[in-house]
Amino acid sequence: MSAPDERVLPAALDSLGRSWWVLLLYGLLAVIFGVFALVSPLRAAAALAWAIGIMALAEGLVSLFALFDRRQGVSRGWLLLYALLSIVFGVLTILNPLATASILLLLVAAWLIVGGIYRIVIAIRIRKQIEGEWLLILTGVLGIVLGALFVASPLGGLVVTTLWVGIGALLYGVLQMVVAFRVRGLKQR
């Protein structure tokens, strides 16, 4: 593998250095959302679901308009079905974002429970071929327990999940801001 062209590298660094503020903006927005999620997790969950609803509605409308283009990559039937489902999902989510978030969490709960059972069954079936199958069984049990907790209290599960998302957003935002200032330093060199 050859070394990068020495003329291209300074140009790329210069370009990156000039846009350091974009990284900083992403970081600040992530930190703001992270704090919002930690202070008001239900509102943050509703805001996330609402934003997903807006995106689904927009994608549904774009897909609906794509029906009139002769060059779409899928059949008109599939495109119409996708467009209508996206629009319906988007509208329902915009009208009641917490209900949609709770339903999505219940789907995650079902996935966790089924996945937990699957891991336990696999661990029992391959117990003679591997060592430490109890770890796989433990992850299965934890998946089932987490899924059951989400089913028992979807609102509580939504709060906890949003708190974790908020912590992740805070960490991401802080790291993004650190990178922004380091990139800014490239411009000054």
Q: What's the pLDDT tens digit per position in 54-100?
A: 999 999 999 999 888 877 767 889 989 999 999 999 999 999 998 99
Q: What is the pLDDT of residues 91-121, one digit of tens each?
A: 999 999 989 988 989 999 999 999 999 999 9
**What is the H or E stretch that residue 151 is in?**
helix 133-152
Res. 8: pLDDT tops 70 = no
Q: Max Cα separation, the chain?
A: 61
Q: What do you get for the CA distance between the two ends of the chain, in Å? A: 28
Q: What is the Cα–Cα distance from 182 to 121, expressed in whole angstroms?
A: 49
Instruction: Tell me the average pLDDT of the chain.
Output: 88
Vertex 49: Cα angle to 173 and 85 (nearest 5): 135
How many H-runs (helices) and E-runs (strands) does the chain carry? 7, 0
pTM score = 0.68
